[in-house]
Protein backbone atom coordinates (compact mmCIF):
# COMPACT_ATOMS: atom_id res chain seq x y z
CA UNK A 1 0.00 0.00 0.00
CA UNK A 2 1.29 3.44 -0.95
CA UNK A 3 -0.10 6.94 -0.78
CA UNK A 4 1.26 9.48 -3.26
CA UNK A 5 1.19 13.24 -2.82
CA UNK A 6 2.77 15.92 -5.03
CA UNK A 7 6.09 15.66 -3.15
CA UNK A 8 5.91 12.48 -1.08
CA UNK A 9 5.38 8.74 -1.09
CA UNK A 10 3.94 7.21 2.08
CA UNK A 11 4.34 3.45 2.42
CA UNK A 12 4.36 0.82 5.11
CA UNK A 13 7.47 0.77 7.22
CA UNK A 14 9.76 -2.21 6.74
CA UNK A 15 12.97 -3.53 8.23
CA UNK A 16 15.02 -1.54 5.72
CA UNK A 17 13.81 1.63 7.46
CA UNK A 18 15.38 0.84 10.84
CA UNK A 19 18.40 3.12 10.46
CA UNK A 20 16.35 6.10 9.24
CA UNK A 21 13.85 5.69 12.10
CA UNK A 22 16.68 5.21 14.61
CA UNK A 23 18.25 8.48 13.46
CA UNK A 24 14.88 10.19 13.81
CA UNK A 25 14.34 8.89 17.35
CA UNK A 26 17.91 9.70 18.34
CA UNK A 27 17.53 13.36 17.26
CA UNK A 28 17.10 15.52 20.40
CA UNK A 29 14.77 17.99 18.64
CA UNK A 30 12.44 15.16 17.62
CA UNK A 31 12.56 13.52 21.06
CA UNK A 32 11.65 16.83 22.67
CA UNK A 33 8.32 16.86 20.80
CA UNK A 34 7.54 13.14 20.91
CA UNK A 35 8.22 12.53 24.59
CA UNK A 36 10.73 9.85 23.62
CA UNK A 37 13.27 9.47 26.38
CA UNK A 38 16.90 10.38 25.74
CA UNK A 39 18.54 7.51 23.89
CA UNK A 40 21.98 6.52 22.84
CA UNK A 41 22.26 5.23 19.25
CA UNK A 42 21.82 1.59 20.32
CA UNK A 43 18.63 2.37 22.30
CA UNK A 44 17.29 4.44 19.39
CA UNK A 45 17.86 1.51 17.03
CA UNK A 46 16.05 -0.90 19.39
CA UNK A 47 13.20 1.59 19.71
CA UNK A 48 13.01 1.91 15.91
CA UNK A 49 12.86 -1.88 15.50
CA UNK A 50 10.02 -2.03 18.03
CA UNK A 51 8.20 0.93 16.41
CA UNK A 52 8.36 -0.70 12.97
CA UNK A 53 7.24 -4.06 14.37
CA UNK A 54 4.29 -2.44 16.16
CA UNK A 55 3.31 -0.53 13.03
CA UNK A 56 3.38 -3.67 10.90
CA UNK A 57 1.24 -5.45 13.53
CA UNK A 58 -1.23 -2.54 13.57
CA UNK A 59 -1.52 -2.71 9.78
CA UNK A 60 -2.08 -6.45 9.94
CA UNK A 61 -4.67 -6.26 12.73
CA UNK A 62 -6.39 -2.90 12.10
CA UNK A 63 -5.48 -1.92 8.54
CA UNK A 64 -3.57 1.19 9.58
CA UNK A 65 -0.38 2.28 11.30
CA UNK A 66 2.70 4.43 10.87
CA UNK A 67 4.03 4.78 7.33
CA UNK A 68 7.44 5.84 6.06
CA UNK A 69 7.43 9.35 4.56
CA UNK A 70 9.81 9.53 1.62
CA UNK A 71 10.34 12.36 -0.87
CA UNK A 72 9.66 11.32 -4.47
CA UNK A 73 13.31 11.57 -5.48
CA UNK A 74 14.67 9.63 -2.49
CA UNK A 75 14.54 6.12 -1.11
CA UNK A 76 15.36 6.86 2.53
CA UNK A 77 12.46 7.96 4.76
CA UNK A 78 12.60 11.44 6.27
CA UNK A 79 10.06 10.51 8.95
CA UNK A 80 6.75 8.82 9.46
CA UNK A 81 3.05 9.64 9.34
CA UNK A 82 0.01 7.50 9.80
CA UNK A 83 -3.17 6.57 11.58
CA UNK A 84 -2.87 4.32 14.59
CA UNK A 85 -5.51 2.50 16.62
CA UNK A 86 -6.16 3.98 20.04
CA UNK A 87 -6.94 1.76 23.02
CA UNK A 88 -10.55 2.22 24.20
CA UNK A 89 -11.44 4.36 21.15
CA UNK A 90 -13.21 1.94 18.80
CA UNK A 91 -14.39 4.57 16.32
CA UNK A 92 -11.33 6.85 16.25
CA UNK A 93 -7.75 6.63 15.07
CA UNK A 94 -4.78 8.75 16.12
CA UNK A 95 -3.03 10.83 13.48
CA UNK A 96 0.70 10.79 14.18
CA UNK A 97 3.67 12.26 12.37
CA UNK A 98 7.30 13.16 12.84
CA UNK A 99 9.87 14.38 10.35
CA UNK A 100 13.59 14.96 10.51
CA UNK A 101 14.25 18.58 11.53
CA UNK A 102 15.97 19.19 8.16
CA UNK A 103 12.50 18.96 6.60
CA UNK A 104 10.58 21.13 9.07
CA UNK A 105 8.90 24.29 7.83
CA UNK A 106 8.36 23.04 4.26
CA UNK A 107 4.71 21.97 4.63
CA UNK A 108 5.62 18.29 4.31
CA UNK A 109 4.04 17.23 7.63
CA UNK A 110 0.78 18.89 6.58
CA UNK A 111 0.96 17.29 3.13
CA UNK A 112 1.57 13.81 4.58
CA UNK A 113 -1.06 14.20 7.31
CA UNK A 114 -3.67 15.48 4.85
CA UNK A 115 -3.03 12.45 2.63
CA UNK A 116 -3.42 10.13 5.62
CA UNK A 117 -6.72 11.75 6.59
CA UNK A 118 -8.00 11.46 3.03
CA UNK A 119 -7.01 7.82 2.86
CA UNK A 120 -8.38 7.06 6.32
CA UNK A 121 -11.77 8.65 5.86
CA UNK A 122 -12.19 7.14 2.40
CA UNK A 123 -10.78 3.66 3.00
CA UNK A 124 -11.27 2.88 6.68
CA UNK A 125 -14.43 2.81 8.75
CA UNK A 126 -13.19 5.51 11.10
CA UNK A 127 -15.65 8.03 12.43
CA UNK A 128 -13.14 10.39 13.98
CA UNK A 129 -9.44 11.21 14.04
CA UNK A 130 -7.60 12.66 16.98
CA UNK A 131 -4.11 14.08 17.24
CA UNK A 132 -2.00 15.00 20.23
CA UNK A 133 0.90 17.39 20.74
CA UNK A 134 2.71 19.10 23.52
CA UNK A 135 1.02 22.49 23.89
CA UNK A 136 4.31 24.31 23.24
CA UNK A 137 4.86 22.42 19.96
CA UNK A 138 3.37 25.24 17.93
CA UNK A 139 4.44 23.76 14.58
CA UNK A 140 2.53 20.53 15.23
CA UNK A 141 -0.47 22.43 16.58
CA UNK A 142 -0.43 24.52 13.41
CA UNK A 143 -0.47 21.36 11.27
CA UNK A 144 -3.56 20.16 13.14
CA UNK A 145 -5.25 23.52 12.64
CA UNK A 146 -4.44 23.54 8.90
CA UNK A 147 -6.07 20.11 8.66
CA UNK A 148 -9.28 21.54 10.14
CA UNK A 149 -8.97 19.73 13.44
CA UNK A 150 -10.66 21.29 16.47
CA UNK A 151 -8.97 21.86 19.81
CA UNK A 152 -10.59 19.75 22.55
CA UNK A 153 -8.46 20.74 25.55
CA UNK A 154 -5.50 19.34 27.44
CA UNK A 155 -5.50 15.65 28.34
CA UNK A 156 -3.21 13.10 29.92
CA UNK A 157 -5.49 10.20 28.99
CA UNK A 158 -3.32 8.73 26.25
CA UNK A 159 0.38 9.05 27.05
CA UNK A 160 0.62 10.08 30.73
CA UNK A 161 1.67 13.56 29.65
CA UNK A 162 -0.37 16.76 29.43
CA UNK A 163 -1.03 17.06 25.70
CA UNK A 164 -3.20 19.27 23.52
CA UNK A 165 -5.95 17.16 21.96
CA UNK A 166 -7.37 17.93 18.53
CA UNK A 167 -10.24 16.09 16.82
CA UNK A 168 -11.75 15.83 13.38
CA UNK A 169 -15.05 13.93 13.09
CA UNK A 170 -15.87 12.27 9.78
CA UNK A 171 -19.03 14.35 9.27
CA UNK A 172 -17.03 17.60 9.64
CA UNK A 173 -14.41 16.37 7.14
CA UNK A 174 -17.19 15.44 4.71
CA UNK A 175 -18.99 18.76 5.15
CA UNK A 176 -15.81 20.73 4.45
CA UNK A 177 -15.41 18.77 1.24
CA UNK A 178 -19.02 19.37 0.22
CA UNK A 179 -19.91 15.71 0.72
CA UNK A 180 -22.97 14.31 2.40
CA UNK A 181 -22.45 12.31 5.59
Determine the pLDDT at residue 81: 98
Asked, for residue 129, whether it belongs to a domain, the answer is yes
Give the mean pLDDT of 79-108.
Answer: 92
Cα–Cα distance for residue pair 174/45, rounded to 1 Å: 40
| Residues of the domain holding 106 | 2-176
Asked, for residue 47, whether it belongs to a domain, the answer is yes
Confidence of residue 1 (pLDDT cuts 50, 70, 90): confident
Asked, for residue 113, whether it belongs to a domain, the answer is yes
CATH number at residue 103: 3.40.630.30
Asked whether the predicted pLDDT for residue 67 surpasses 90, the reply is yes
**Tally of domains in the chain:** 1
Give the mean pLDDT of 23-40.
Answer: 85
Asked, for residue 8, whether it belongs to a domain, the answer is yes
Determine the pLDDT at residue 38: 67
Asked, for residue 181, whether it belongs to a domain, the answer is no
Asked, for residue 12, whether it belongs to a domain, the answer is yes
Asked, for residue 11, whether it belongs to a domain, the answer is yes
> pLDDT tens digit string along 118-151?
999 999 878 999 999 999 999 999 999 999 999 9
> pLDDT tens digit string along 37-66?
768 899 999 999 999 999 999 999 989 999
Amino acid sequence: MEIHTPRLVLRRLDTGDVEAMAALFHDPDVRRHLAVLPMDPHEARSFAVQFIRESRTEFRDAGSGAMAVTPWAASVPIGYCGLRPIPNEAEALELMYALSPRFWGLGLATEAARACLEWGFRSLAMQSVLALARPDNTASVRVMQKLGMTYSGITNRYYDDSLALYRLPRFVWQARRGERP
